């Protein structure tokens, strides 16, 4: 099993200076290679302390200079917020600077505040994503970017430097809803899904992805990537106590940033989230926060391995990417969380076929 680290670069309640937060998370990203992780990934978020990562390709270029073997994934570039030509240029450049270690992850975004600041209607999210995705993926293969669609008219342009290697097996797509999974299939991407509800309930989503991918591309789908908030500790009691503090903290920021209880989700574009918002308003924030903590992964190393083994039985083979610094967690706590996982969980996961 491949196991990676994702950084969200969240400055919860501004408990640190932005400089301190960046020092903490850059240390985590750079240390991941020495600790044995296979990849690192960085989100894209703008204009708030929810996630201070306005350019994940630039952040990964910093990590590339500090490492030599670890894979570098955008987790993800939000296509409707970016010019396709610039994405192709920067991803190819990252690939050259890292010696072919770049991995292109893409998503369509969900936060109204970010869409509004960029002046882009959320109702255009899906169409913009589809148009940009095909332009970008073609550009990453050929070095040529062109488009005649309604959103991204681009004269035929050759980028330099040109492509180092093919990205056909280095494509990833965030697919959290039934509306998003076809996008992952259509683009030939590995499906990437964050923990959001009991994994057994997600089994049909993964099955739909595997079946659709195999039918379209005439080969088995890559193992989907599960993204978990992780808290690992020698003490089961302390692991649960701190998980319920820090993971719940993060969930609170999700509710605020994405306005998950709001009534603004376009049912044609974000149908799942419109339904989820109705449920959230009914069950209440506290119950929802507890449920979110429960579906993520925490405990002693043995407990974590047991949970992941159970997930494999429920959804089949998967790859794993974990978040170890979030929700106002102090640097020392985040570092210990990561190091214990690397020492006592990671070797066993690497032995899984």
Give tens-digit pLDDT for 95-119: 999 999 999 999 999 999 999 999 9
Domain ranges, residue 271: 3-351
* Cβ(187)–Cβ(173) below 8 Å: yes
User: Which pLDDT score is estimated for 268?
Assistant: 67
Find the range with the poorest average confidence among 10-24, 27-41, 256-270: 256-270
C-alpha torsion sign, points 198, 199, 203, 205: positive
**Residue, of 277 and 121, whose pLDDT is higher:** 121
Q: Structural domain tally of the chain?
A: 1
Peptide bond into 90 cis (omega under 30): no
User: Which pLDDT score is estimated for 48?
Assistant: 96
- How close are the terminal C-alpha atoms of the chain, in Å? 6
Q: At residue 273, does pLDDT exceed 70?
A: no
User: Which pLDDT score is estimated for 282?
Assistant: 72
Percentage with pLDDT > 70 across the chain: 95
CA separation, residue 190 to residues 153, 292, 341 (Å): 28, 24, 24
Peptide bond into 76 cis (omega under 30): yes
pLDDT (mean) for 148-159: 98
Where residue 264 falls among pLDDT bands split at 50, 70, 90? confident
285 SS3 class: helix
The one-character DSSP state at 104 is: E
Question: Could you tell me the CATH number of the domain that includes residue 22?
Answer: 3.20.20.30
Where residue 276 falls among pLDDT bands split at 50, 70, 90? low
Which tens digits make up the pLDDT trace of 297-319? 999 999 999 999 999 999 999 99
Q: At residue 217, does pLDDT exceed 80?
A: yes
C-alpha torsion sign, points 21, 23, 24, 27: positive
* Cβ(196)–Cβ(291) below 8 Å: no
């Amino acid at each position: 099993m491949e196991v990676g680290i994702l950084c969200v670069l969240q400055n919860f309640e501004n408990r640190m200076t932005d400089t301190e937060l960046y020092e903490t998370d850059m240390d985590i990203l750079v240390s991941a290679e020495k600790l044995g992780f296979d990849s690192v990934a960085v989100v894209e978020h703008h204009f708030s302390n929810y996630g201070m990562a306005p350019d994940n390709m630039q952040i990964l270029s910093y990590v590339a200079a500090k490492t030599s073997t670890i894979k570098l994934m955008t987790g993800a570039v939000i296509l409707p917020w970016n010019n396709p030509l610039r994405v192709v240029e920067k991803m190819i450049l990252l690939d050259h600077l890292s010696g072919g270690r770049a991995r292109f992850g893409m998503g369509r975004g969900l936060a109204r505040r970010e869409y509004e600041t960029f002046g882009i209607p959320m109702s255009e999210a899906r169409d913009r994503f589809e148009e940009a995705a095909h332009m970008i993926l073609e550009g990453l293969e050929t070095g040529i970017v062109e488009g005649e669609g309604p959103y991204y008219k681009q004269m035929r342009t050759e980028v330099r430097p040109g492509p180092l290697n093919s990205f056909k097996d280095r494509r990833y797509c965030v697919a959290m809803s039934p509306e998003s999974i076809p996008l992952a299939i259509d683009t030939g991407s590995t499906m990437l899904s964050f923990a959001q509800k009991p994994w057994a309930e997600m089994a049909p989503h993964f099955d739909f992805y595997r079946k659709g991918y195999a039918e379209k591309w005439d080969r088995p789908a890559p193992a989907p990537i599960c993204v978990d908030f992780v808290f690992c500790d020698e003490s089961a009691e302390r692991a649960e106590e701190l998980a319920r503090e820090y993971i719940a903290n993060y969930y609170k920021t999700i509710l605020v940033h994405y306005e998950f209880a709001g009534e603004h989700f376009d049912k044609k574009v974000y149908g799942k989230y419109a339904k989820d918002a109705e449920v959230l308003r009914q069950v209440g924030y506290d119950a929802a926060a507890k449920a979110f903590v429960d579906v993520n992964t925490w405990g002693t190393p043995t407990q974590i391995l047991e949970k992941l083994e159970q997930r494999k039985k429920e959804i089949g083979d998967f790859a794993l990417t974990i978040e170890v610094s979030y929700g106002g967690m102090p640097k020392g706590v985040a570092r210990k969380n990561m190091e214990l996982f690397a020492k006592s969980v990671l070797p066993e996961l690497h032995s899984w076929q």
